[in-house]
Structure 1
Amino acid sequence: MSSRPLIVGGGPAGMAAAIELAKHGVASTIVDEASRLGGVLYRGPLRQGVTLDYLGERYRDSMQALHKEFERIRSAVDVRLNTRVVGGEAGNALYALNEQEQVEHFSYEHLLLSAGCHERSVPFPGWTLPGVMMLGGLQLQIKSGVVKPLGRTVIAGTGPLLPLVACQLHRAGAEVAGVYEACSFGRIAKETLALLNKPQLFLDGLSMLGYLKRHGVPMHYGMGVVAVQGQSELQDITLAPYDSNWKADLARQQQVVAETLAVGYGFIPRTQLTQQMDLQHDYHADGYLKPLINEWQQSSQSHIHLAGDIGGLRGGEAAMLSGRIAALSILRQRGAIGDNEAASIRQQYLGKLQSILRFRVGIDSFTERGSAQLALPDADTVICRCEHVTRKEVDTALSQGVQDLISLKMRTRVSMGDCQGKMCVGYCSDRLREHTGKADIGWIRPRFPLDPLPFSAFAAIATTDTLTEEV
């Protein structure tokens, strides 16, 4: 078993944790599936000459400072890039597909999971058509500096990422036909006091809106997607006003011709690994599973810590602070730092977190989803893309008495495809809670491997078996 703390995820939380550990003389190992450290914000711009201006000046400076600090302790960290964790055992072992496409076993005494988040899927008629994509996927194309959407692009959903990506698209030379924010302008305005807890972020938001206005990109509030149409690809988008519960007013719907639709309804923690490792979870009010974490970033197993968006969606700066707090907890457990010293340092980090958390309260309030959005899919709308399960099949299972996710899986095959429910479980759990009136409708434990493995990953195993048989 390795004595080095193992960190899964080389984003802001993982890097900050490794720095905090090294400051107190403890070397660590970082495992990350990307080709370089920095997290999802740094994915894409790998070509020479591509700048990081999409991050915004303030956050770009913060991330560059983190990278410089990390370089100073780089010798104390064993960085394993292009290594994707594909499963774990409860307690002391993980399995990852390494750069040589071989499955590698990682043991640990202390583990920090900072695996981040993924986008929330919202099904509606036509959402599987080519030309309809997630907002984060479109942003990744922009960041690459290689690909941009052809023709007219519409952005719809909720949250501050919408105007940001619209500005990035326009600067890249794409035609942005409009931005449709599901939340009403009045509801956003009510959160001004909370948003002013981070005045620079608030001003950045106003600056983006000013940019869109100057360049003739319309920003619509209280409107969202109803459906999209097209034969082999996207041709038309149907949008309509949303009420406070996000029920679409179909009498006032409108058509917009576009070749690309980017939909962004927020993010949810990547908990597939924490579920498989049998850590304790609870349902968040926004409809997703959230691992239980205490004030030291410890999970239900005290030697396993969680930091960054996997423990709550609070942004990059908060991720760095949570990573440092988790590192302090590991240092305490190893006896590398005293309890009083750790508590004193943690208090400094918590003070910096407070304004971020108050700011996030404002963001979370105006981006809170309305339950009426569940009514968008038609009977033949595909809910589970892997197994091609439609809304009609989900409705039939509910009418036959299904009361939990496991029973729905057995009845319809939702979540049994390659993505193991990343695309469909959110909608299905929302529907079950609506149908049963219960907050807890169970959860589906992901199976090993979490992601498909290439046949080459089993070459070493096959060679070992052959030698054993010959002997």
Structure 2
Amino acid sequence: MPTSPSDPAARSGRSAPYDLAVIGAGPAGLAAATTAADLGLSCALLDAGPRPGGQYYRHPAPGLGAAHPERLHHDWPAFARLSARLDAHTREGRIDHLAEHQVWTAERGEVWTLHATLGPAADGRAAVRARAVLLATGAYERQLPFPGWTLPGVVTAGGAQAMLKAGLVLPGRRIVVAGSGPLLLAAASSLVAAGAAVPAVVEATGYLGYARGLGTLAANPAKLAEGARHGAVLLRHGVRLRRNSAVVEVHGTDRVTGVTVARLDADWRPVPGSGRRIDCDAVATGHGLLPQIELATELGAETRRAPDGAVALRVDDGLRTSLPGLWAAGETGGVGGADLAIAEGELAARVIAGRPVPAALKARRRRRRAFAELMAAAHRPGPGWTDWLRADTDVCRCEEVPAGRIREAVEELGAGDARTVKLLTRAGMGWCQGRMCGPAVACLAGDTAPPADSRPLACPVPLGQLAGLAPAADPAD
């Protein structure tokens, strides 16, 4: 069974380092850990969540009594197979599944040391040592603010799915789904299948970007079939798809009561006079995903700019990063979905184990990665979206920094990049550390290529754990 946070072995570590430590138990992490164990490696699988699956395979807690959790996913059999392999390897001692272990920093060396927090208690910490590390931390959603986005009832598209998958609840009864990217169709089809009314899916692009990669589309028929399935569900429920459009304002006082949707030009600027109101009680919004790579960038790993402007880790054909001993699989190398993540997890594990990689696996990874790059280019945000912001629209929710103050920092105080704006306004200095507002702040600052975030702590850590770091770092002491 997965190791619990109260297990003394999880707190003290073990005398011998693991062959491989995998950070993240989503599709890439599960595939990597189970493949590595198949090949004879000792493996630690660390994850911040209480159960495996990550965000993609998020599922209800057993206490909720969900009879058919598979109905909330379009590829549940893949997770069931990975989960069964994980259970078998944990029983046989080849994988230690360290649940609720949130890794906040790593020390490089011939043997790596990963430091994890297990909760708020001063002794709720663990140190895990391994000869190789694979980063499979996934991604988080990109948000572009608009007037009213801080009202109760506005959630991220992935958040709406998480509420449904993990809690079996809906963010509202009549939900507008808005933003850009394939996650919108998946979220909308899940919501209507669960009984919600979705009056519109509001997509900022027109999907014409996919026409530049007809060969890539033809090489990925499963992706086309997946999109067709979501489209069929929406068509059956009478959901209207509004392309080249965006939610430019949310209405309500204590709760969402409606939205204004406007057409966009080629640069994502709202077309004057095109606004139309849609009544609703919730909005699920998002503009794609951003790789979660803070652990690697703090150590100096090289990055690349994805076609949608996101910063991802640079990896070679064997999924090695620029740091010896560190590999990355799945969304950390560029967002591409569960199929790609599983393929990269398997491939990286084989490389780490020194085993040949089957040609079919290499080809599968190339096809899926090519589709990911095409998808990113097709949904890249246009620069004109800032035109739908008012001066009093909060951009940084944590620190309540409005767009007007950021523009003042740029136009009157000379800030020319996101870091300077942050120093002048505190935008990005709150609890989320810029994960919600970072892309928007960079765009308002005219920072077309902001650097990857680098911070010594990848997540909040209690001071008591930092104070006790030295004895916790070496279990032999």
TM-score of the superposition, structure 1-length normalised? Answer: 0.87
Give me the whole-angstrom Cα distance separating, in 2, the residues matched to 1:185 and 1:20: 36
Deviation at 1:376, TM superposition (A): 2.3
Give me the whole-angstrom Cα distance separating, in 1, the residues matched to 2:150 and 2:220: 37
Give me the whole-angstrom Cα distance separating, in 2, the residues matched to 1:162 and 1:299: 31
SS at match of 1:360: helix
1:10 aligns with 2:28: no
Preserved contact between residue 203 and residue 241 of structure 2 (Cα < 8 Å): yes
Unaligned runs of 5+ in 2: 1-15, 473-477
Residues 29-108 of structure 1 aligned to structure 2 (within 5 Å):
29-46=44-61, 47-48=64-65, 49-56=67-74, 59-74=75-90, 75=92, 76-91=94-109, 92-98=112-118, 101=121, 102-108=124-130
Deviation at 1:297, TM superposition (A): 1.1
Matched AA of 1:4: D
Residues 19-418 of structure 1 aligned to structure 2 (within 5 Å):
19-46=34-61, 47-48=64-65, 49-56=67-74, 59-74=75-90, 75=92, 76-91=94-109, 92-98=112-118, 101=121, 102-144=124-166, 146-184=168-206, 186-187=208-209, 194-332=216-354, 342=355, 344-399=356-411, 400-418=413-431
> How many corresponding residue pairs?
447
Matched AA of 1:95: H
Determine the structure 1 residue equivalent to 2:13.
none
Deviation at 1:284, TM superposition (A): 3.1
| Percent identical | 28
Which shows bigger deviation, 389-398 or 206-215? Answer: 206-215
Give me the whole-angstrom Cα distance separating, in 1, the residues matched to 2:293 and 2:375: 22
Which shows bigger deviation, 212-221 or 300-309? Answer: 212-221
Q: 1:346 to 1:407 in 2, by over 3 A?
A: farther
Q: 1:236 to 1:200 in 2, by over 3 A?
A: same
Deviation at 1:310, TM superposition (A): 1.0
Give me the whole-angstrom Cα distance separating, in 2, the residues matched to 1:90 and 1:462: 16
Determine the structure 1 residue equivalent to 2:6.
none
Determine the structure 2 residue equivalent to 1:337.
none
Q: 1:398 to 1:285 in 2, by over 3 A?
A: farther
Q: 1:161 to 1:444 in 2, by over 3 A?
A: closer
Determine the structure 2 residue equivalent to 1:467.
none
Q: Structure 1 runs of 4+ off > 6 angstroms?
A: 458-464
Unaligned runs of 5+ in 1: 333-341, 465-471
Give me the whole-angstrom Cα distance separating, in 1, the residues matched to 2:84 and 2:469: 40
Deviation at 1:88, TM superposition (A): 3.0
Give me the whole-angstrom Cα distance separating, in 1, the residues matched to 2:322 and 2:233: 46
Matched AA of 2:105: G
Matched AA of 2:81: A
Give me the whole-angstrom Cα distance separating, in 2, the residues matched to 1:429 and 1:196: 36
Deviation at 1:364, TM superposition (A): 2.6
Which shows bigger deviation, 134-143 or 317-326? Answer: 317-326
1:431 aligns with 2:440: no
